[in-house]
Structure 1
Amino acid sequence: MRRLALLAFLGLALAQPVRLVDATGKEVVVQSTAPIVSLDGITTEILFALGVGDGVVGRDDSSYYPPEVLRRPSVGYQFRLSAESILSLRPTLVIGREDVRPPQVVDQLRAAGVAVVLVPAEPTVEGAKRKIRTVAQAVGRVEAGEALVRALERDLLALKARQAVQKGPKLRALFLYLRGPGTTFVCGEGSTPVGVMELAGLVNAAQGIKECRPMTAESVVAARPDLIVVFKKGLESVGGLEGLLKLPGVAQTPAGEKRRVVAMDDLYLGSFGPRAGRAALDLFIAAYEREGFVEVGP
């Protein structure tokens, strides 16, 4: 029955070609909206939320939500791709971020006759809406896309209502990107987790830092964060909370002294997509309504 449903979906997908302009200004004609290979986690999430997950035959390594996508083969990481691995799945549509790398892979896919749609990577609410709408247009689910946008807006209204009754000064928060004790970065303006932090009503403590730069004891102490925010996988890579507090400068900050750390799922915090409003709301609650160490899931 599943196979019959998929075949019916594929037949419907072939009925009406879609013409659109993607995030790079490229006009793309989508002749068939399946099979699909998705090249980043948020695009994959959007595809499933739009109801076309059955048409996804491949994913990149950052795509692990919803959990059923893990049953699809991986084509590698979105910034280290090869055309051969993608083409081996015989997709008619490939969707990924506008900064997918290496860029020549996109050229190779298009030369092979595959429709490639690149979506906005902007880490803002408006960027999230454009991302949803671009993906929805590409797969012929415009109305479903608008429903996702409205759901995002409702989540943001819930966040604003909670923020409106919050008393006291805003907290200074520092996002640390961790991949083992030897790979640690402080991230600032332009990084997606910081965008979610600011949406949640936190003040970015890494003022003057663009994107991410190597973490030093001096930079951490000078930031004077009331709260430290990390990815869950990053926290695990340094040995949990106790390992984090041993990193240079962390224990000497107000956050370190009070063990005020929030660890969030990487994809939930690290990407602006349909769940951005909920992620910001969960972060707000963890920061302003709880104490000590808090783990936040999707």
Structure 2
Amino acid sequence: MSAPRAPLSRRQWLVGAGGLALLALVPGGRARAQAPGRVIVAGGDLTEIAFALGAGDQVVGVDSTSAYPEAAAVLPQVGYLRRLAPEGLLSLAPDLLIAAPDAGPPAALEALSAAGVQVETGPEGDDVSVVPRKIAFMGRLLGREAEAEALAADFSARMARLEASLEGIEDRPGVLCLLSAGRGAPLAAGTGTSAAAVIALARGRNAVTGYEGYRPLSAEAAIAAAPEVLLLPAHAARAMGGAEAALALPELAATPAGIAGRAVVMDGMALLGFGLRTPEAVAELARALHPDQAAGIAG
């Protein structure tokens, strides 16, 4: 493992070996920064954008949420994005760390910055409007601004086609989204969450409205919510022993979803990450919630 580097001056940052970028002359003798050569991305949504922009060859490491595309999944991993260790990150000699807003801990990011690594944090947001901002952010950092404009336009067009195909759907079944919480009670998505936003986009109704964020699900709360559909990210379904086992939990067995055996399991990053696959994820969930109208749903 290489020793931490001392902070670099702006000129050293641009022209030094291992710095963020080289200097290139432009008309008038001014200098501009080229794209960084060695990038670590911590955040599956941002990783997907980097590869879609054609910058995958710049990415030398990713976090454990970056399992898509396959080319990213085989790269060296630096751990879970909320528990990053500066030693592991520095061992990959990065020029730039691009991190999701909830990446950390802060001390790890500060250690990287002190070692001369540029640290950039992506835009926050738990709804579809954040995706074009993520694309523009990645395009700027990776020197792919033209590609980012085209990618954002394509994303917006796909979302517009999907939303147009959902306009005639009026029935909104109650959906309960659960996340696993180790050995404790599963966490139910309340208001103000990415799960609630995706459910609404798919013309569903979030069954939990009494609080914001994620909280442990009690039997009383589950019965009061009366969900018609249980929604599980794939990693949560595995932790609970599968969808059938989740529906059989005492908290859920007596709910309409438990009685009907109605559960939907989806890729967690596609479902909750608000990235490039959001149109496909919303369409998949909408078809599951409205099977009689599935054929007309775009995406």
Q: TM-score range by the shorter chain?
A: 0.7 to 0.9
1:45 matched to 2:69 = no
Deviation at 1:183, TM superposition (A): 4.4
Cα distance in structure 1, aligned partners of 2:135 and 2:104: 21
C-alpha contact (below 8 Å) 2:135/2:152 kept by paired residues: yes
Cα distance in structure 2, aligned partners of 1:244 and 1:114: 43
Superposition TM-score, scaled by structure 2 size: 0.84
* Aligned positions, number: 269
The equivalent residue for 1:143 is 146
Q: Counterparts in 2 of 1:114-263, with a 5 A limit? A: 114-166=117-169, 168-179=170-181, 182-263=184-265
- Percent of paired sites with the same residue: 35
Q: Secondary structure at the match of 1:95?
A: strand
The equivalent residue for 1:21 is none
Question: Aligned-pair RMSD on alpha carbons?
Answer: 2.3
Cα distance in structure 2, aligned partners of 1:263 and 1:290: 19
1:111 matched to 2:114 = yes
The equivalent residue for 1:86 is 89
Cα distance in structure 2, aligned partners of 1:256 and 1:288: 18
Cα distance in structure 2, aligned partners of 1:116 and 1:286: 40
C-alpha contact (below 8 Å) 1:181/1:247 kept by paired residues: no
Structure 1 pair 16–82 and aligned structure 2 pair: CA distance change class (3 A)? farther
Deviation at 1:45, TM superposition (A): 0.6
| Residue range with higher mean Cα deviation, 173-182 or 47-56 | 173-182
Cα distance in structure 1, aligned partners of 2:174 and 2:33: 45
Q: Which has the larger radius of gyration?
A: 2
Amino acid at match of 1:257: I
Structure 1 pair 290–257 and aligned structure 2 pair: CA distance change class (3 A)? farther
Q: Deviations over 1:55-76 (max 9, x none)?
A: 1111111110001212211111
- Which 5+ residue runs of structure 1 have no aligned equivalent? 1-9, 18-28, 292-297
Equivalent residue in structure 2 for 1:99, among 97, 102, 115: 102
Q: Secondary structure at the match of 1:46?
A: helix
Q: Secondary structure at the match of 1:251?
A: coil
Cα distance in structure 1, aligned partners of 2:181 and 2:238: 9
- Which 5+ residue runs of structure 2 have no aligned equivalent? 1-17, 26-31, 294-298
Superposition TM-score, scaled by structure 1 size: 0.84
The list of structure 1 runs, each at least 4 consecutive aligned residues, that deviate by more than 3 angstroms after superposition, is 13-17, 29-32, 179-183
Q: Deviations over 1:240-268 (max 9, x none)?
A: 22211221221211122111211101111
Amino acid at match of 2:178: L
Q: Secondary structure at the match of 1:125?
A: coil
The equivalent residue for 2:276 is 274
C-alpha contact (below 8 Å) 2:207/2:225 kept by paired residues: yes
C-alpha contact (below 8 Å) 2:22/2:33 kept by paired residues: no
1:64 matched to 2:67 = yes
